[in-house]
Amino acid sequence: MSKPHEVAGAVDAAKKSGATALNVVLASAMLFNSRQTILSRTAALRLPAIFQWPDTADEGALMAYGPSIVQMFRDIMSRQLVKLLRGVKPADIPVEQRTQFTLTVNLKTAKAIGVEIPELVLLRADKVIE
């Protein structure tokens, strides 16, 4: 799968081949931009999906674990952009990586697709959507 219009077919093909979940939908730009397609297909197929952007659990993913994309843009990328605009060479800007990761569990989605979330997972979650 290399094009956004192939996303729905890829989810359907995964289910047809026996997949019981989509484990960690990668945080690529294409998959992030196609997240509504993935969420609608996984909901229709009752296929649990775990994403790398916590915000996707707010949108209907079963679970998500990773850094907040909003915080990344606000904290890291905006700071790096300011340096670039001030004339700093890109090679002189250090690479920064998020150190805060959030586990979000969506119990509404779990109930809708018939999945029970273990109590230990709920206790470890930073955010539970009920």
Please, how many CA atoms are within 13 Å of residue 21, restricted to the half-sphere of its CB?
13
Model pLDDT, residue 2: 64
Q: How far apart are CA 94 and CA 70, in angstroms?
A: 20
Q: How far apart are CA 31 and CA 100, in angstroms?
A: 22
51, 24 Cβ separation under 8 angstroms: yes
- 37 token code pair: 């397609």
Q: How far apart are CA 64 and CA 49, in angstroms?
A: 8
pLDDT tens-digit series, residues 7-34: 899 899 999 999 999 876 777 778 888 8
7, 1 Cβ separation under 8 angstroms: yes
Fold of domain 4-68+99-129: Rossmann fold (3.40.50)
| Residue range 93-113: mean pLDDT, rounded | 92
Q: Where are the domains of the chain?
A: 4-68+99-129
